[in-house]
Structure 1
Amino acid sequence: MFAAPDSTGVNSVAFALDGRILATAESDRTVRLWNTYSRGTVRSPLQELSGHTAIVNAVAAAGTLLATGGQDDTVRLWRLDPAQPYQRPTLLPRPMRSHSGHIVALHLTAGGRTLLSAGQDGTAALWNLTRQDQPVLRDTLRSPGETFTSAALSADAKHAAYVPTCE
């Protein structure tokens, strides 16, 4: 079992590259990458990634792709290099925008070809990531007046589930 150092600012976690890396989405606008194969207590991250301008709420990983979403209302994509898993991933240049509120949840299909993002604005967006450098918005579900708190996507990307807040 791996535990990242205590932090009150960790909002979401995801394993990447077959469990070699743990990504944490954090309140200080960063995503930290941790070496899960380290022995003993891990005190410092391998990498601190900056690309968001506000709190990072969500992180998801599949294959060589890492997706992050935050309170800047954007989703960012990062490409990991499996040959050099502990090196800094490449931030893909184009932030993905389809929400008018904070991103609260992300889900990637196993192959990293489809991403589901869910927002505080009651919007869920389905993205085609076949060309990771040019994501395409495939579909949007709007549920005005609701805030999504969680989202999941089936492996074949044909079914999506969303959890609205309970008031």
Structure 2
Amino acid sequence: MYLGSGDWQANWENLGRSQTVDHLSLQGMARLLASSSKDNDIRIWDVVLNQTLRVLSGHSASVSCIRWGGEGLIYSASQDRTLKMWRVDKGILCRTFEGHGHWVNTIALNTDYVMRTGAFEAKDCLIDGTALPVTNPQQLKNLALDRYKKFTRNEPEMLVSGSDDFTLFLWSPSTSKKPLARMTGHQQLINQVLFSPDGRIIASASFDHSIKIWCGKTGKFLHTFRGHVQSVFQISWSSDSRLLVSGSADSTLKLWDISARKLIVDLPGHADAVYAVDWSPRGDRVVSGGKDKLEKLSKVQQHVIHTDYYGCSKTVLILPLSMSLNVRLVQMLADSIQCSTRKFRTHC
């Protein structure tokens, strides 16, 4: 397992590993990293000290997805059909959520975007309108906390889960073990769920070739986007919550207008299945990757697309774009960017 940073110096440490790492999730300022593997555990790493802080055990099958909350909590989804909420500082299990009839593949929080961007404003990557970015760690932390509090308005975080049982559940995990809504309509398993950056809408991608949108507060069904002719693997929101991009097994990327409820444009396509897609928090770039071993970086300006192509030696499965100035987990543009890399001894 490797961690890359933005100091642009190559530095490799080989510590070995014995289990496949299935999922990774960075906490806010990127000091803590959560990883899951087929050993059913979640490991919390200090990426500065390069050591394991805690091991969270409780799932009885592989952990498929992890999300950091904004209150020192971690949420996990598993093939054991449950979701769990953990308090990281004490290493304890707070709650287990049941209801799905099959594997839980994906979860998302309504605070994901504000947690991802932290102190940085998407419109210009500046902070509070100042001429230069603030770099003091404590000041960044305070600004990030302020943005989080303004977003939540002292209301509990909302969680949505998607499963192999074709359903989604909407939860208020800090207030109840029971779901707020059971969301049905998909005809095959759910690959991904995402809240819009403003938290108002949930989008879900499915093997049934469709993308559905739902109310982020109530779980009420809003619309189905159709156009893909094979499974939809991943989706990503624009920073203003107006647009959604989707990647599919049919080799295409599609850009959707949420308010108009229509397809805007097909982004330049891949030669094979598109497994990974992400939208930069600034809102001007979409990156995609897939089975054709290509990474494509598309600049989106007023729906005009310009695309650059980058070759990889293997299938591209995940491509998160970071807004942080100091941390880049993705080896996007791997042939032209050298990242400082640390390798962690992982799950046994």
Structure whose residues are more often helix by fraction: 2
Partner SS for 2:61:
coil
Partner of 1:26: 37
CA distance in 1, matches of 2:34, 2:21: 10
Structure 1 residue 129 displacement after superposition: 2.8
Partner of 1:52: 59
Quick check: 2:96–2:177 contact (8 Å CA) kept in 1?
Answer: no
Partner SS for 2:179:
strand
Distance of aligned partners of 1:107 and 1:144 in 2 relative to their CA distance in 1, 3 Å threshold: closer
Distance of aligned partners of 1:66 and 1:55 in 2 relative to their CA distance in 1, 3 Å threshold: same
Distance of aligned partners of 1:130 and 1:77 in 2 relative to their CA distance in 1, 3 Å threshold: closer
Distance of aligned partners of 1:36 and 1:99 in 2 relative to their CA distance in 1, 3 Å threshold: same
Partner SS for 1:137:
coil
1:12 aligns with 2:23: yes
CA distance in 1, matches of 2:79, 2:101: 10
Equivalent AA in structure 2 for residue 55 of structure 1: S
Structure 1 residue 80 displacement after superposition: 2.8
CA RMSD of aligned residues (A): 2.4
Equivalent AA in structure 1 for residue 189 of structure 2: T
Larger Rg: 2
Partner of 2:106: 105
Structure 1 residue 2 displacement after superposition: 2.2
Partner SS for 2:199:
coil
Quick check: 1:62–1:109 contact (8 Å CA) kept in 2?
Answer: no
Partner of 2:192: 150
Structure 1 residue 90 displacement after superposition: 2.2
Partner of 1:66: 74
Distance of aligned partners of 1:143 and 1:89 in 2 relative to their CA distance in 1, 3 Å threshold: same
Q: TM-score scaled to structure 2, two decimals?
A: 0.41
Quick check: 2:186–2:206 contact (8 Å CA) kept in 1?
Answer: no
1:89 aligns with 2:91: yes
Query: Structure 1 vs Structure 2: percent identity of aligned residues?
Result: 23
Length, aligned pairs only: 154
1:37 aligns with 2:48: yes
Q: TM-score scaled to structure 1, two decimals?
A: 0.80
Quick check: 1:121–1:145 contact (8 Å CA) kept in 2?
Answer: no
Structure 1 residue 6 displacement after superposition: 4.9
Structure 1 residue 156 displacement after superposition: 4.5
Distance of aligned partners of 1:130 and 1:28 in 2 relative to their CA distance in 1, 3 Å threshold: closer
Quick check: 2:55–2:91 contact (8 Å CA) kept in 1?
Answer: no
CA distance in 1, matches of 2:163, 2:16: 28
CA distance in 1, matches of 2:174, 2:195: 16
Structure 1 residue 157 displacement after superposition: 3.4
Structure 1 residue 123 displacement after superposition: 0.9
Quick check: 2:193–2:202 contact (8 Å CA) kept in 1?
Answer: yes
Query: 1:125-145 CA distances to partner (integer Å, 9 max, x unpaired)?
Result: 1101342xx334111212353
Gaps of 5+ in 2: 5-14, 112-151, 208-230, 232-248, 250-348
1:126 aligns with 2:170: yes
Equivalent AA in structure 2 for residue 157 of structure 1: G
CA distance in 2, matches of 1:74, 1:114: 17
Equivalent AA in structure 2 for residue 164 of structure 1: S
Q: Which moved more, 1:134-143 or 1:118-127?
A: 134-143
CA distance in 1, matches of 2:190, 2:79: 14
Gaps of 5+ in 1: 82-87
Distance of aligned partners of 1:6 and 1:164 in 2 relative to their CA distance in 1, 3 Å threshold: farther
